[in-house]
Chains A and B, each alone.
Chain A
């Protein structure tokens, strides 16, 4: 083994890349990359993820800084809105046929 072993102290951290594809749209997750610091992460994101005019704006976020929900939605995190159909306009049918309502 020479220069790389899995615990290489010079490993560059992982970053998540978000791209705004055109003005008026939100930034969308485009992918990931490695970079030594935020400045280079931004450059690398531009180089890697906007080669075909995909972007007008780029965000980079350290992957380790993202807090994610528990994937097991049965745990109640996403249960609450189930069955609360009165939050949706389609629940209200009496106004059918009345204009602009």
Chain B
């Protein structure tokens, strides 16, 4: 076992540290474990935190789940910036609840990753130092109110397309976290679509604002599924382990097929001249995406890559004294305060 160990494991688990002096026994346990793991995967069953699992499986999951969590946390920023400017009190409330959900989703996912033996601090540290990746889409600006709608409809729509199959991921805690996320996420896409619908059917200026936002977010949203299958080396292994159920291109196609009629219902145009129904395939054909841009943004050259990270770092730094104070207070011990104070 070479995974990081921590005394803090969700699902109440504490991994036993393999004892080096007991190498032979460990090897035997690994053989039994490997066989059991393969059985579980073949039966499409679930692997749980304290099961033996191959290191690459563990590493893949930690990477994927923590990236997913980071995306939720960084993803709070573009929309969060609009809370104070939302154009009606109802929209303000909806947006606040939505961005709050994203914080919650980040929390569910960090917890799922923690069961694999990596502490949340360690993951936050990777984000803080810029070593962790997160979805590139959040490095694009939310310039107008319509962007809030486009993010809800296209970005969350793509996220849901990606996430629903993950509810059946072979790693139990990840699947369970995704069930909760998908349940809550369902309103995100709808509120985004409604924002765009109101704009599209509002004044000329509002309609232009909506179209312009869709023009900007369409391509990056399609790229959220990751590079083409031919360029996605880890996908096959991930599918063999029942983490992923569909390839990047399959999910992208599913998403395009979904949004074409939705765009029609909105009265907005998707900015792709190659978008046509292909009777033979039973799917919409769509144009090539700008993968040079994608890989450039992925490398950290997005319009706002630096600012998003700085925002996160500032919050983390500014909060350090608060976290320390709460820890110091807890060490002192305290009375039971399950009842509300002063109420």
Contacts and interface: CB of A to CB of B under 8 A. Distances in A.
Q: Let me know if chains A and B touch directly in the complex, using CB atoms closer than 8 Å.
A: yes
Interface of A: 1-6, 8-14, 16, 31-34, 36-40, 42, 48, 51-52, 61, 63-64, 66-68, 70-72, 74
B330 A16 contact: no
A32 B112 CA distance: 9
B306 interface: no
Contacts of B101: 51
B316 A3 contact: yes
A44 to B, nearest CB: 9
Contacts of B114: 14, 32
Given A36-B329, A42-B338, 20 more contacts: A4-B124, A4-B125, A4-B316, A10-B323, A12-B327, A14-B9, A14-B114, A16-B11, A31-B10, A31-B111, A32-B114, A37-B334, A48-B104, A51-B97, A61-B12, A66-B13, A68-B11, A68-B14, A68-B50, A72-B52
A2 B323 contact: no
A71 B327 contact: no
Interface in B80-138: 97, 100-101, 104, 107-108, 111, 114, 119-122, 124-125, 128-129
A40 B51 CA distance: 31
Interface in B29-52: 32-33, 36, 48, 50-52
B20 interface: no
B324 interface: yes
A40 B119 contact: no
A63 B117 CA distance: 13
A71 B129 contact: no
B236 to A, nearest CB: 28
Given A2-B317, A36-B329, A64-B8, A10 B324 contact: yes
Contact of A31 (B48, B108, B120, B122): B108
Interface in B131-187: 177, 180, 184
Q: Top 10 A-B pairs ranked by shortest CB distance?
A: A66-B12, A36-B326, A3-B320, A37-B330, A71-B50, A32-B111, A10-B324, A39-B337, A14-B8, A10-B327
Contacts of B51: 71
Contacts of A72: 32-33, 36, 52
B121 A39 contact: no
Interface string B1-35: 00000011111111000000000000000001100
Given A3-B316, A6-B125, A68 B12 contact: yes
A1 B121 CA distance: 13
Contact of A63 (B12, B48, B52, B180): B12
A57 B84 CA distance: 33
A72 to B, nearest CB: 8
